Structure formats: C-alpha cells, structure tokens
Amino acid sequence: MRTTVGIIGAGPAGLLLARLLHNAGIDSVVLESRDRTYVEQRQRAGILEQGTVDVLRAAGAGERMDREGLRHDGIELRYDRTRHRVDFPTLTGGRSVTVYAQTEVCKDLIALQLKEGHPLLFEAEALAVEGADTDRPRVRFRQEGREDVLECDYVVGCDGFWGVARKAIPAELVRVFERTYPYAWLGILADVPPSHEELVYARHDRGFALLSMRSPSVSRLYLQVPEGTDPEEWSDDAIWDELERRFETDDDWRLARGPITQKSVTPMRSYVHEPMRHGRLFLAGDAAHIVPPTGAKGLNLAVGDVVTFARALTHERETGSAELLDGYSATCLRRVWQAERFSYDMTTLLHRAPDAAPFEDRLQLARLARIASSRAAGTDLAEAYTGFPFG
C-alpha cells in the first residue's frame, strides 16, 4: 500500500489531519488499532478553543458542532465561598470557547472521511515505523491477522503516549521533560442538567472541583482525589456530598443531583518530548506532549500540531520549499510550552497539595484575588484559556 502521508491514530488529531490534507489535494491513509465504535465512544476532552472551532468550520466539519455545541463566553472561579466570572470576549476582543465533546468531533470527522476522504482503516494496528530518516518511511501494521506495509513520503504519529511512532526516534536524540502530580481527578457523567451555564472551577481547602457539561441534559463533574484512587471506593452519594462541599458559596446557588452513569479516575501529569520530528516522521498530540486537564488544552494542542503540519506540507507542495516542514518541531513546541505553562499555573492555582502548608493556601487565595481584581491578570487567563495562535 502506498500513500503520501501515513497517519497513525484516528483520534481527533489524525482524523482532522486527514481532512485538512484531503481539502489540500494530498492523499493519506489513516491506521487505527481500535474499531469504529470504540473511537466514537472514547470519552476525553470537551472544550474547544476558538482556534479549534474556526479550523473545524473551515475544514467543513463544523455543521453539527455549530448546531449542538455550547458556546461559552467565560468561566467562573470559586474560592473562599465567593464567585468571580472571567468574561472572555471582553478581555480577548471577542474570543470564546465551545463545549462539544471529543466523541462528537470524531463522529463528524469519521463520517466525512468515509464519505469524501481517503482510506480510514479500523482495527489496523501499527507495529513499527521504519526508515524515518529516509525519503521512503514505512509503517508496518497488522489487520485481520495479516501483516502489511504502508509506504509513505511522510508519517505522522497521532497514536498517543503508548503508540509506536515516538519509539522510532533514536533515544540519543531525545529530551524528555515531565512532572507527575500527587493527585488525580475523579470524573463522573450524570444525567442531570448542568447546575451552571458555564464551567465552574472551585478551589477549596478539601481540594479542587470542576463543574462542566457535555450537553444541556448531561453534566460532567470532577473531584480532586489522591493519586491511585479506585473510583469504586466512592459511592454516588459520597461524590455528590463532596461536590456540594467544594462548590459551596454564600449565596443561594445549589448543585443539582442526578443518576451517575460513568465514573473514572484521570491521573495528572505534564510531559513534553523534544524533538517532535525526526526525518520524515512527525509527532502530534499525546504522542509528543501531555498536559494536566485543568487548562483544557490537550485536544486543542493536538489540533495546533496537525494544522501546523498540513500548512507546512501544503507550502512545500506549492513552493518547493521545505522551510516550514523543517521548522515543524520548533513551531509546535513554542505553543506547547505556553500551554504547559498555563496548565501548570491553573493546576497549582486550584489544587491543594497533600503537604500544603497555610502559606501555600494563602498564596492560592492571593493569586485568585489578583485575577478577580486585575484586568491584566484576568486577560492573561482569558487569552490562554481561549487559545494560543496556531503557528
């Protein structure tokens, strides 16, 4: 099998890249180890930055997002039983975010790919990337019990942290930067309308809590819990009781309860792999970087990566210049490190470390009060949350 761009992974990054390349007249093949049902039901991110929304629209994948997605013009910070709203459009010149689940993004892109695009092979497990430093890289993969080879001009690894793409970069060329956090998120999906029209980020002495949503009838909520927590240790009533404690305010706001349909625990870590390119192999998304979910950056960073690659390859085809392809890693990493910085700031601002002293508690409250009282501080948060420019 032969193609111009071999894409490993049919998450939102790989699927969007295939769409962008299709629109630019460049052929590709997407290899996905899981079946279609799994990909379309895999619960992950739900906040789309302004730039991500714009890219999906321009790619022809925004019709259902515009119809069913929830535009949010701000977030609410809660601390010390008080509430402060950060108004995005006022502070950023009109930018916002959209609540639209990753599962829905994948459904839209899969439908387009199968209808209009190039091959999308489910249950095709990539085994190795070979010849990354040559002009004919290859992806060995297995489908229906048989091994095959996909020959490419370029390979883009959108196969996540545990994928094979990153392993093809020689260890002596790699630098890894990472941090693990001593807490995790216990997340739930609940069949109950959201108790607030926008996301609520709560800092509490008992730990962080987040009120989010997937739709007007489905709430997504999170609690800070110790690292390694088993979600089954928490009963439904205990989860709702703890959420109420951490969201408590001095006004009459109340948290609505409903049936919990899903529980899971998400570890918290920061990770960056440098470089993001080796020869004709390019890494995108979680294959190259991971952020704690506090800043809602993971999916959006992956979108930035594939937009950068698609632009660079299109530029090479139109001008003959490989300048943008050669600069792929440096271009992406500038945005990645800003997102890492913001996600770290949000995480340490809102979570209480197990060994936190009263001094750290007071610093968190002072930082939150600064955001609430300073337009400059509020603008810095709003600009980062709604998204750093692509490229």
Residues designated as active site: 72, 201, 293, 297, 385
374, with CB counted inside 10 A (0-12, 13-18, 19+), is exposed
Give the whole-angstrom CA distance, residue 329 versus residue 390. 13
Q: Return the bridge partners of 269, or none.
A: 180
As a whole number of Å, the end-to-end CA separation of the chain is 32
88, with CB counted inside 10 A (0-12, 13-18, 19+), is buried
Question: By the 8 A CB rule, do 42 and 66 touch?
Answer: no
Which of 183, 180, 203, 201 has its CA nearest to residue 361?
Answer: 203
Alpha helices in the chain (DSSP H): 12-23, 36-41, 50-58, 63-68, 88-92, 102-116, 236-247, 298-319, 323-326, 328-350, 358-373, 375-386
